[in-house]
A and B are shown apart, each in its own frame.
Chain A
Amino acid sequence: MISTERQLLSGDSAIALGALHGGVALGTGYPGTPSTEILEYLSHIGGKAQWSPNEKVALEVGIGVAYGGARSLVTMKHVGLNVAADPFFSAAHTGVVGALVVVSADDPGMASSQNEQDNRRYAVAAAVPMLEPSDSQEAYDFTLAAIEISERWKIPVLLRVTTRVCHTQAPVQPRAAVPPPQPHFEHDLRGRNLIPSNARPAHRRLRQKLSEMNEWSETTPLNHVISGDKKLGIITSGVCFMHAREAAPDASFLKLGFTHPLPLRKIAEFVRSIERCVVIEEGDPYLADAIRAAGLKIESKPEMFRFGELNVDRVRRILAHDNSPEPTRPPGKPPELCDGCGHHVVFQALHNLDCIVAGDIGCYALGVLPPYSAMGCCVCMGSSIPIGLGLRHVLPPAEAKRVVSVIGDSTFVHSGMTGLAEMIYNPPPTGHVVIILDNSTTAMTGHQEHPGTGRTLDHAGTGKVVYENLGKTLGIEDVRVFPLGKDCAEFQQMLVEALASEKLVLIVARRPCVLAAKNIRDYEKCATCATAQEVLAK
């Protein structure tokens, strides 16, 4: 299904098409807005793609693919790279044989994220090359370039995109597909085994590669000058190039596509060629700091523009030194739990019993909003169980007994299991209650499968992690499965008993997501089909 026709694609879909045409053997990742559609589209167009339990596992599978001489694409949202940081840094040291392209989809403005984080810093910290596309065509082209760079320097490459690149549809002209290499494992005992005596020379090799890539970054057309008015020059990357080009169509531009290591000679030449040079970038002053550290005189945005996305209007303000308060848009309608969602019953009970709820990342984070306002904290994937335990350890008994950890099914598989191990190993004196809100899908990101659904990314049947069995095997004394209905009283009664028991209790509160229920029934009906997509296509 290799089409080279010009087509309208989102940045996410363009990355997937680039991966397919670039001969990627396997795409792995964990769902997370705005990255989710990359692997879904890769699978849709005939590539091999699979969800992993979390981003660390996804990257480690990808490293294995690349050690085997094949090409690998690993996708995640910005916070996913925090989870995958350990293998990311070490893979930079070992290097790879095939290609390893890691997509970090950042979310400036936090349309659907818990924090605002600029992952360009990771390229510097891990010492890997970085590419930043600014639209769908570049998302396609830069994915192919990332594969080439990864194979040429035998190093993981960070393809850093943002929400407006991922979720903007724009025309893409594909090219002819590149043939993939033949996978094969070649022993390299010193290169692939990071014991200190091997890791020391590995770090030197890594810095040598970076130094070569630095020379290359000075000449690659990925970094290019667009000549214009010499009075104003703009240095920019990613989607900010588009905003800035529209805000200042007559200015000169240095458009940076390869943003680590930075071409500082080229930048210096550009800065000196114009009267006033302004760096336009979203998030952290990554470019501005590096350019200033090189002793060059540039302007950068005031602190107020560090927050949120940039747009044409904000770029105009930066260029005009306009730091006056920006108009705020009237608030829209906030999202809420769907009618008929099983989470209603659980949050009603938690609210009625005045529980101290350590929550987690997913639809159920909406339990923090009225009418329930029933969540004490929500920090990061998998944090509900350990944070709940921490509270139980220190609060006075009367308060400690009201602490409950609430975690979704996909989030539990992502990083909740180690929390259960902690609970068994270091049980609080008052016991603890963990509720897995099992809606049988990764609901918030748009109903992706995970190891607890027993279906693969394309909804075909596979092995299944069963939480109640896992809880019992780990050694939790009291494991209960509760099929959620519409009535709260029975669930609430069970929760009262669980809290009073002062034991370690795991409750699996089960009801398929109302938005996904029909599809789930269809996938189950079709367990005997080759793939469930045949049914969906009807």
Chain B
Amino acid sequence: MNKTVNVVIAGLGGQGVIKASDILSEAAFRSGFAVKKSEIHGMSQRGGSVTSDVRFGPQVLSPMVPPGEADFLVVLAPDQVEVNRGQLRAGGVLIAPELIDQATLANRKSFNIALLGALSTRLDISEETWRAAIHACLPEKLHAANEQAFAVGRQAAAKL
């Protein structure tokens, strides 16, 4: 991979946008890439819109994905798709919440990780590294549910 990969993760406060971006940046870091992850905290716990930018590759300068240059847009809330669509570059991939049937998840709170699973099929990061990143970012009692959600997401990616 010789160019920077730009990912924008979007949703509402409390959905796990920041946690998903933590795991993605951890996985990229463990894969040896330069990585930057940037988001706006503050009002995020009060149900408002939240986005987090993750950039990785051989070198990363600005921490923010330039407008209209996201390779991937991962959205956790249906009403946040249109708000953020302008972030995607032409030909960029939208991973929308409809991709995952929440009823198939062992724990519905792992929805963010299921969407990461779908994203993972398009990135140059090994499954083993993803698992290690999930383990590093979540408490042990949540590992099984989130690994299940990640697997659901990987399967659902076939529909992308």
- Listed in ascending order, the chain A residues whose CB lies under 8 Å from chain B are 8, 33-34, 111-112, 135, 163-164, 167-171, 239, 242-243, 245-246, 311-313, 327, 329-338, 363, 366, 444-446, 515
Contacts and interface: CB of A to CB of B under 8 A. Distances in A.
Contacts of B12: 333
Contacts, number: 111
A312 B38 CA distance: 14
Interface string B12-41: 110000000010011001000011111111
B42 A33 contact: yes
A246 B69 CA distance: 13
Contact of A330 (B22, B37, B40, B82): B82
A313 B66 contact: yes
Given A8-B29, A168-B36, A135 B67 contact: no
Interface stretch (B44-52, B96-104, B120-128, B146-154): B44-52
Contacts of B42: 33-34, 111-112, 444-445
Given A164-B38, A169-B38, A327-B86, 8 more contacts: A167-B39, A169-B25, A246-B66, A332-B83, A335-B13, A445-B42, A446-B45, A515-B45
A165 to B, nearest CB: 8
A33 to B, nearest CB: 4
Nearest to B60: A170
B86 A171 contact: no
B43 A332 contact: no
A111 B40 contact: yes
A242 B41 contact: no
Contact of B46 (A8, A239, A329, A337): A337
Contacts of A8: 25-26, 29, 35
6 contacts: A111-B43, A246-B66, A313-B68, A332-B51, A335-B43, A338-B45
Interface in B47-76: 47-49, 51, 60-64, 66-68
Contact of B61 (A245, A329, A445): A245
Contacts of A239: 62-63
A338 B36 contact: no
Given A167-B39, A335-B43, A313 B67 contact: yes
Nearest to A513: B45
A168 B54 CA distance: 9
Contacts of A329: 67, 83, 86
A332 B62 contact: no
Contacts of A167: 38-41
B129 interface: no
Nearest to B64: A311
Given A312-B64, A313-B67, A330-B83, A336 B37 contact: no
Contacts of B13: 335
A33 B46 CA distance: 14
A112 B61 contact: no
A40 B78 CA distance: 34
Nearest to A329: B86
B45 A246 contact: no
A334 B36 contact: no
Contacts of B47: 333, 335-336, 338
Contacts of A245: 61-62
A312 B142 CA distance: 38
Interface pairs A-B: 6 shortest CB-CB: A332-B49, A112-B42, A335-B46, A335-B48, A168-B63, A246-B61
Given A168-B36, A245-B61, A333 B41 contact: no
A111 B49 CA distance: 12
Given A8-B26, A312-B64, A333 B36 contact: no
Contacts of B62: 239, 242-243, 245-246, 311-312
Contacts of A313: 66-68
A329 B61 CA distance: 23
Given A170-B36, A312-B66, A243 B48 contact: no
Contacts of B36: 135, 168-170
Contacts of B40: 111-112, 163, 167
A345 to B, nearest CB: 17
A313 B69 CA distance: 10
Contacts of A163: 40
Given A112-B43, A335-B13, A170 B63 contact: yes
Contacts of B80: 332-333
Nearest to A240: B62
A363 B44 CA distance: 11
A170 B63 CA distance: 9
Contacts of A246: 61-62, 66
Nearest to B45: A515
A334 B63 contact: no
A112 B41 contact: yes
Contacts of A334: 48-49
B16 to A, nearest CB: 15
Nearest to A443: B45
Given A311-B66, A334-B48, A243 B61 contact: yes
A366 B43 CA distance: 10
Nearest to B50: A332
A338 B13 CA distance: 11
Nearest to A332: B49
B4 to A, nearest CB: 9
A258 to B, nearest CB: 21
A363 B13 CA distance: 14
Contacts of B51: 332
A204 B36 CA distance: 44
A171 B49 CA distance: 27
Given A336-B46, A336-B48, A338-B46, A33 B41 contact: yes
A112 B43 CA distance: 7
A324 B63 CA distance: 25
